[in-house]
């Protein structure tokens, strides 16, 4: 027999969740993996595209050397993502934006599944695979409504590139700063489905904790952040997050 929800979700977390006024959520690849999104990296199964490893074809240098190859790689990835749908983790996080007076969602993911689930005003630390960006004037284009994918900017005529952060590039201007500012002000912070190995994203929950927030990690395995968390829930976002809401209703 399955344990009651109240026993699966610790009482302290239930209380914090029920009373929270300002909540910040940081998500990583683990949330989207449940929807079937490949991570394209890691170990012997690392993706190779036309003989080039993932971190080469997805690099700033490759944009300069062979932008066409970069687009072929990202077109392939978008095709894989096109039929995927948000899972219970995405949907639960989207519902939280109506639950709290202040809510901030920060994601390392580029797949757009949070927005597809209904999340608004998402802080995208690594960009979005469904957008193109002009290499000159920085104009952005929604590839979900641009068919076929445009090769050149309609504003200035220059070439377009994927609007994602590639290896060797900085985060979008202001994205981390905004996330950090929100982290300082939150009273409850969730870090969900991330290895906590990629900085500066991994410093966001550290900032929240240092400012006095209650920090909860949801992940199948422990991470470098686990030891500073007030609560660590072992499991998938899709299985655990709906329980957190249900336990406090």
What pLDDT sits at residue 247?
A: 60
Give the residues of the chain that fall short of pLDDT 70.
1-7, 39-49, 247-249
Residues 6+ apart with CB under 8 A from 208: 24, 183, 184, 186, 189, 215
Catalytic residue among 90, 114, 126, 147: 126
Q: Where are the beta strands (DSSP E) in 99-230?
A: 102-107, 123-124, 127-134, 140-142, 160-164, 188-192, 214-219
Angle between helices 11-19 and 237-247 (to 10 degrees): 70
SS3 112: coil
What pLDDT sits at residue 52?
A: 80
Q: Could you tell me whether strands 214-219 and 231-234 are parallel, antiparallel, or unpaired per DSSP bridges?
A: parallel
Tell me the fold of 5-37+85-126+171-247. Answer: Rossmann fold (3.40.50)
Measured distance CA(72)–CA(8) in Å, rounded:
45
Q: What is the pTM of this model?
A: 0.92
CA distances from 14 to 18, 58, 61, 87, 214 (A): 6, 41, 47, 22, 12
Domain locations along the chain: 5-37+85-126+171-247, 43-83+134-164
Q: Using the 8-state DSSP alphabet, how is residue 218 labeled?
A: E
Is 126 marked active-site? yes
What pLDDT sits at residue 19?
A: 96
């Amino acid at each position: 027999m399955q344990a009651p929800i109240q026993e699966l979700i610790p009482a302290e977390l239930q209380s914090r969740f029920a009373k929270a006024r300002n909540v910040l959520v940081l998500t990583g690849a683990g949330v989207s993996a449940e929807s079937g999104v490949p991570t394209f990296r890691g170990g012997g199964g690392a993706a190779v595209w036309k003989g080039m490893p993932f971190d080469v074809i997805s690099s700033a240098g490759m944009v300069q050397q062979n932008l066409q190859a970069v687009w072929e790689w990202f077109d392939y990835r978008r095709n894989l993502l096109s039929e995927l749908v948000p899972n219970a983790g995405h949907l639960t996080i989207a519902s939280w934006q109506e639950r709290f007076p202040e809510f901030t969602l920060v994601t390392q993911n580029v797949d757009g599944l949070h927005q597809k689930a209904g999340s608004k005003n998402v802080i995208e630390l690594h960009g979005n695979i469904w957008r193109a960006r002009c290499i000159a004037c920085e104009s952005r284009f929604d590839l979900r409504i641009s068919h076929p994918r445009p090769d050149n900017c309609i504003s200035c005529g220059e070439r377009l590139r994927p609007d994602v952060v590639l290896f060797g590039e900085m985060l979008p201007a202001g994205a981390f700063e905004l996330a950090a500012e929100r982290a300082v002000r939150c009273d409850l912070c969730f870090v969900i489905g991330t290895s906590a190995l990629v900085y500066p994203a991994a410093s966001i929950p550290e900032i929240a904790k240092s400012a006095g927030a209650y920090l909860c990690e949801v992940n199948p395995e422990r991470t470098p952040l686990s030891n500073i968390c007030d609560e660590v829930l072992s499991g998938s976002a899709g299985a655990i997050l709906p329980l957190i809401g249900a336990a406090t209703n």
